[in-house]
């Protein structure tokens, strides 16, 4: 009986799954947030993964191959994710300017399919609050991302 209770409330199986969906790398955490954003509407298209790579390259000043490798790792993590908080704690260490730029990147990914989705928008607003990006900066980042997205689709 005691073993059953232990397994129910944190036994060995749950301990081995404790690291599922976790990373200590801020770049992978950021990529996982980007993937989660893209998945918010239930569709993960190629254009979204291309935009994620672009955002990673710009945010972390890395090459395409490095960003692609980070995205591959993040896609695996996103399947196991239990929420945005586990990733935002790592991304929160970025300078304020980079966090705002990252929020702009999240919005850029949400506009990839040319449609505005309330689920994606709500997820980005949630992430912005966890990253301590104020509403004004978030709204300005959204406007810049929407314009950039329109420009890139034309």
- In which band, very low, low, confident or very high, does the pLDDT at 83 lie, cut at 50, 70 and 90? confident
- Alpha-carbon distance 14 to 24, whole Å? 20
- Alpha-carbon distance 64 to 91, whole Å? 20
Is 6 a residue whose pLDDT tops 50? no
Predicted local confidence at residue 4, as pLDDT? 39
Predicted local confidence at residue 113, as pLDDT? 80
Predicted local confidence at residue 55, as pLDDT? 94
Q: What's CA 24's distance to the chain center, in Å? A: 14
Give the angle subtended at the CA of 17 by the CAs of 12 and 18, to the nearest 5°.
Answer: 95
**pTM score, two decimals?**
0.82
Domain ranges of the chain: 25-153
Q: Which residue has the tokens 């034309």?
A: 154
Q: Give tens-digit pLDDT for 93-143.
A: 889 999 999 999 999 999 988 778 888 899 999 999 999 999 999 999 999
What the block records as the tokens of 9 is: 């409330």
Q: What are phi and psi of 105, to 5 degrees?
A: -65, -40
Query: What is the pLDDT of the chain when averaged over all its residues?
Result: 84
What the block records as the tokens of 7 is: 């397994």
Specify the CATH class of 25-153 in words. Answer: mainly alpha
């Amino acid at each position: 009986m005691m073993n059953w209770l232990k397994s129910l409330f944190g036994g060995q199986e749950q301990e081995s799954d404790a690291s599922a969906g976790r990373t200590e790398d801020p770049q992978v955490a950021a990529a996982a947030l980007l993937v989660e954003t893209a998945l918010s509407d239930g569709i993960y298209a190629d254009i979204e993964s291309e935009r994620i790579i672009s955002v990673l390259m710009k945010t972390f000043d890395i090459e395409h191959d490095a960003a692609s490798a980070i995205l591959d790792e993040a896609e695996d993590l996103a399947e196991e994710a239990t929420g945005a908080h586990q990733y935002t704690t790592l991304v929160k260490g970025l300078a304020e300017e980079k966090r705002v730029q990252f929020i702009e990147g999240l919005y850029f990914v949400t506009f990839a399919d040319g449609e505005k989705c309330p689920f994606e928008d709500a997820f980005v607003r949630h992430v912005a609050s966890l990253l301590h990006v104020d509403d004004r900066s978030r709204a300005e980042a959204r406007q810049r991302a929407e314009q950039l997205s329109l420009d890139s689709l034309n």
